[in-house]
Amino acid sequence: MAENNNRERKPFRKPREPKEFDDVVVSINRVSKTVKGGRRMRFAALVVVGDHKGRIGFGMGKATEVPDAIKKANEAATKNVFRVELADNNRTVPSDAIGTHEATSVVLKPAAPGTGVIAGGAVRSILELAGVSDVLSKVIGSRTSVNVVYATLDALSKMRTVEDVAKLRDKKVSEIR
């Protein structure tokens, strides 16, 4: 009888590619829908992704199981990635900005080197994934995590570097500073 060598070999497995983005689960909510037979429970997940180099995105997913909801949110977040303007070699934000969404406002201010990320909850995870190391922030109004994420991304999208402002005004950078 011939020996079967296939059993001794390990199956071919593709080496894992390094992940392009790191992800953070900001919140998981249990939501219910009342139907004729009772309540139908599902889970809604909010995930933020970033590469620590100025690219970040977020996504929401809903499913009957938590891991499925997180997976859906992660896929949605990688589709919604955009670039954020940062200053001083991605150390801090370039200017003051106020982002709003519904009843939530988020204030972001640049900080001196060594200050750290003075933020909490969803704002901290977004700024760390964007690669910001020194910033001051304050959430005003509602602290619902979904609204805080939207407001923070709104504030980051409003950021303008000195170069952008100079180009907009047809002036040199030295004239603006």
Q: For the segment 54-63, what is each residue's pLDDT rounded down to a tens digit?
A: 999 999 999 9
d(CA 9, CA 151): 54
- Per residue in 78-109, pLDDT tens? 999 999 988 888 889 998 999 999 999 999 99
**What gap in Å lies between CA 149 and CA 77, rounded to an integer?**
12
Burial of residue 7 (CB within 10 Å: 0-12, 13-18, 19+) is exposed
Q: What is the pLDDT of residue 3?
A: 55
* pLDDT computed for residue 1 by the predictor: 53
- The verdict on pTM exceeding 0.95 is no
Please state, in angstroms and as integers, the Cα–Cα distance from residue 94 to each residue in 30, 53, 91, 97, 112, following that order: 38, 15, 9, 9, 12
Cβ(51)–Cβ(21) under 8 Å?
A: yes
Helix axes 145-157, 121-130, angle to 10 degrees: 40
Is 23 within 8 Å of 47 (Cβ atoms)?
yes
pLDDT of residue 173: 86
Q: What residues of the chain score a pLDDT lower than 50?
A: none
What local confidence, expressed as pLDDT, does residue 112 receive? 93
pLDDT of residue 9: 67
